[in-house]
Amino acid sequence: MKRILTGIQPSGSITLGNYIGAIKQMVNMQNDYETYIFIADMHAITVPQDPKELPNNIKNLLAIYLASGIDYKKNTIFLQSDNIYHANISWMLECLTPYGELSRMTQFKDKSKKNANFSAGLLTYPILMASDILIYDVDYVPTGQDQKQHVELTRDIAIRINKKYNEDVFKVPEPLITKGGAKIMDLQDPTKKMSKSSENQKGVIYLLDTEDTIRKKIGSAVTDSVGKVKYDIENQPGISNLITIYSVLTNKSIEEVEKEFENSNYGIFKKSVADVVVEELSKIQEKYNELVNSNKLEEILKNGKEKTTEIAKNKYEKLKSIIGLHI
Ligand code: ATP
Ligand code: LTN
């Protein structure tokens, strides 16, 4: 069975972008692949986090995974910091990666601009991600478009190390980008990615938003003066974004959505988009409320820690051996 792995940072409330870009893909693939899904808490601390808030964000993300349909019996679910080998292996990979490759990463350039005092971890972030992926010899990494560059860096690291040591130390993974490369944009600024850490909450749909809030946010999403429900990122980025959301959640193609709303005004179209988002999220919220305080959560992480630590330890020993870290 082919193996896949993905992770999300517990850096805030989970958004519709996270759901469409990462979670939904895992749910769709869990029956046909061996799946690993984790909470990237060590990635989250590359930017400042409140130590009181972080545990809640971790717990909420785990409950959201399960409520979205990720079955803990079919997937290995774990907390990144529970597995000490991720950071250990990351260090070895850091020493085998040229600095120049890191400073070129788009996410680093964007995030480092936001805080002049950014951490060194923000720069080495993609190597920890490479470690997450390469430890498990995965075939595919489902992510949103924004993480593709990091998966490509991971591939380069794997290829370089395999060549250097003349051995198949790592499997070279492929990125798996959501259908049509779906990147969900901010509803208030559709040229910007919808993001957990966005300052303007009006442009972001959170998975736990109430129905009323969701309807308000979609109702006031920025559109244009063209007046046609047409997918045209250049001239109608707001409408194109709503078409993407509707298309992914209803499993209809962009063309089918355009046809369906050919004679509709933006008000009617927005209402239909809100209906499908509310329907999808209310199911998740109902399950989330049942799960968030259950003691199942700890047990799931404990099992994930045991299973992944064993796999990662083998990779760690292998690396120590080929690099020469032994007597
Ligand atoms: P932050 O604001 O803290 O950077 P984020 O919302 O960008 O967070 P990540 O934790 O970086 O989210 O990403 C988790 C997963 O969700 C990744 O696979 C990423 O590609 C995907 N993702 C995030 N935002 C979007 C989006 N707007 N559209 C599609 N996929 C997304
Ligand atoms: N960097 C990712 C989270 C992440 C990840 C990974 C995704 C950390 N390690 C390994 C896939 C595979 C992000 O911010 N979305």
pLDDT at 45: 97
In this structure, the number of other CB atoms found within 10 A of the CB of residue 293 comes to: 10
3-state secondary structure of 199: coil
How is the beta sheet containing 140-143 ordered, strand by strand?
75-79, 34-39, 3-8, 140-143, 174-177
Distance 318 CA to ligand 1 centre (A): 32
Angle between helices 296-323 and 54-67 (to 10 degrees): 100
pLDDT at 180: 58
pLDDT at 179: 65
- In DSSP notation, 88-111 reads HHHHHHHTTS-HHHHHT-HHHHHH
111 counts as catalytic? yes
3-state secondary structure of 238: helix
pLDDT at 183: 87
Measured CA to CA, the distance from residue 155 to residue 175 in angstroms comes to 9
Which listed residue (196, 217, 270, 315) is catalytic? Answer: 196
202 counts as catalytic? no
2 counts as catalytic? no
Tokens of 177: 């980008």
Nearest CA to ligand 2 atom 4: 7
Which listed residue (24, 73, 171, 193) is catalytic? Answer: 193
Measured CA to CA, the distance from residue 246 to residue 7 in angstroms comes to 24
Closest by CA to 324, choosing from 26, 52, 96, 113, is: 96
Instruction: Give, for all 327 residues of the chain, the pLDDT tens digit.
Output: 999 999 999 999 999 999 998 898 889 999 999 999 999 999 999 999 999 999 999 999 999 999 999 999 999 999 999 999 999 999 999 999 999 999 999 999 988 998 889 999 999 999 999 999 999 999 999 887 889 999 999 999 999 999 999 999 999 999 998 765 678 999 999 999 999 888 889 999 999 999 999 999 999 999 999 999 999 999 999 999 999 999 999 999 999 999 999 999 999 999 999 999 999 999 999 999 999 989 999 999 999 999 999 999 999 999 999 999 999
Pocket of ligand 2 (CB under 6 A): 5-9, 40, 43, 129, 132-133, 141, 143, 147, 150
